[in-house]
Amino acid sequence: MTESIRVEKDGDITRLMLNRPTYYNAFDFDMIDGFACALVDLAADKSVRGVVISGEGKAFCAGGDLKWVSSFAGGATAGFHRLAASYHLAIMEIRRMNKPVIAAINGIAAGGGFSLALACDFRVMEESAGMRQAYTSNGLCIDGGGTFTLPRIVGLARALEIVAFDAPISSEQAMNWGLVTSVVDDGNALSEAVDMAHKLAKTSLSSFAWSKQLLTDSFDSTLEAHLEHERTGICSCADSTEGKEGLKAFKEKRKPVYMP
């Protein structure tokens, strides 16, 4: 594992820390490749019931390292092609992971860091932190799933406004627009996100996983097809260990216990 990524266990929650603070956690190829590999491993690790992503130092993530891209041997186009392959793998792992992924936004989340935060299931943002899509000001279009997640979170008109004007987004504005789940005092994003992850870890992960998948896929499905996916999902949940516990607890009029 590259030194630019730190994996820290906290019981059944894992903190995935971006560790290039001198570069505001902007990712070069080694960093994003290590990040994607870590996510693949965490997705498969049944002992992990939640993942929290944050950055070391003053930034969450400033996106792709444009200096690295510009100096790539094959040119900037080839550099972006190489970088995006691992970056997009990481985004897919987050969106398809059958456990909650929470972004603890401790500082600026810009460019690829903005898209990375939006790909997470929940976002806890510190009061002095900021967001900026940043791509269009550098003559680029948004990647990392940003054009997929952004309009689904804030609506098409607001998303186009964010893209066209690229104005900095404060924590207050991010909360008002629904870009983040909560805003906390400076220095508390990571601890608050970990606490949230621990709370979610006590719920049914099979229920969460199916609900996350169905919501993600709902925009690309007909009603008839989606109803069938829901029927498959609820039957799968009912047949799972957690589903059986939930139904049994309901019948016995007690609180279900989902922890393994």
Domain boundary among 162, 179, 201: 201
pLDDT, position 79: 86
Give which of 149, 150, 125, 120 is closest to 51, Cα–Cα: 120
pLDDT, position 71: 84
pLDDT above 90 for 113: yes
Q: Helices 112-119 and 146-154 sit at what angle, rounded to 10 degrees?
A: 60
Whether 229 maps to a domain, the answer reads yes
* Domain shared by 126 and 235, yes or no: no
* Domain shared by 178 and 219, yes or no: no
* Domain shared by 244 and 167, yes or no: no
* Domain shared by 72 and 182, yes or no: yes
Whether 258 maps to a domain, the answer reads no
What's the predicted TM-score (pTM) here?
Answer: 0.94
Whether 166 maps to a domain, the answer reads yes
Whether 156 maps to a domain, the answer reads yes
Report, as an integer, the average pLDDT of 184-197: 98
DSSP 101: E
The helix or strand, by DSSP H or E, that contains position 210, with its residue range, turns out to be: helix 205-217
pLDDT above 90 for 105: yes
Whether the CB-CB separation of 193 and 124 falls below 8 Å is answered with yes
pLDDT above 70 for 1: no
* Domain shared by 106 and 137, yes or no: yes
Report, as an integer, the average pLDDT of 244-251: 94
pLDDT above 70 for 92: yes
* Domain shared by 33 and 116, yes or no: yes
Give the domain range for residue 217: 205-251
pLDDT, position 177: 98
Q: Which residues contact 185 (CB under 8 A, 6 or more apart)?
A: 126, 127
Whether the CB-CB separation of 174 and 180 falls below 8 Å is answered with yes
Give which of 110, 119, 11 is closest to 65, Cα–Cα: 110
* Domain shared by 32 and 66, yes or no: yes
pLDDT, position 82: 87
pLDDT, position 126: 98
Average per-residue pLDDT for the chain: 95
Give which of 61, 60, 74, 68 is closest to 29, Cα–Cα: 68
pLDDT above 90 for 260: no
Q: Which three-class secondary structure state does DSSP give residue 71?
A: coil
Q: How many helices (H) and strands (E) does the chain have?
A: 11, 10
* Domain shared by 246 and 149, yes or no: no
The rounded distance, in Å, linking the Cα atoms of 194 and 200 is 10
The rounded distance, in Å, linking the Cα atoms of 108 and 217 is 29
Mean pLDDT lowest for which of 10-24, 70-84, 110-124?
70-84
pLDDT above 80 for 259: no
Whether 144 maps to a domain, the answer reads yes
The rounded distance, in Å, linking the Cα atoms of 17 and 57 is 10
* Domain shared by 188 and 227, yes or no: no
Q: Please state whether beta strands 182-184 and 122-126 pair in parallel, antiparallel, or not at all (unpaired).
A: parallel
Kindly tell me the burial class for residue 91, based on how many C-beta atoms sit within 10 Å of its own C-beta (0-12, 13-18, 19 or more).
buried
Q: What percent of the chain has pLDDT over 70?
A: 99
Whether 120 maps to a domain, the answer reads yes
Whether 260 maps to a domain, the answer reads no
Residue 248: pLDDT band with limits 50, 70, 90: very high
Whether 178 maps to a domain, the answer reads yes
pLDDT above 90 for 243: yes
How many CA atoms does the CB half-sphere of 127 hold within 13 Å?
5
Residue 159, beta-bridge partner list: none
Domains in the chain, number: 2
* CATH code of the domain covering residue 55: 3.90.226.10
Tell me phi and psi for residue 149, to 5 degrees. Answer: -80, -40
List, for residues 219-239, the tens digit of each pLDDT value: 888 999 999 999 999 999 999
Report, as an integer, the average pLDDT of 188-210: 96
pLDDT above 70 for 172: yes
* Domain shared by 33 and 158, yes or no: yes
Report, as an integer, the average pLDDT of 10-38: 95
Residue 118: pLDDT band with limits 50, 70, 90: very high
Whether the CB-CB separation of 242 and 208 falls below 8 Å is answered with no
* Domain shared by 32 and 79, yes or no: yes
pLDDT higher for 65 or 122? Answer: 122
* Domain shared by 98 and 164, yes or no: yes
Domain boundary among 180, 201, 222: 201
First to last CA, the chain: 29
pLDDT above 90 for 72: no
Report, as an integer, the average pLDDT of 196-202: 96
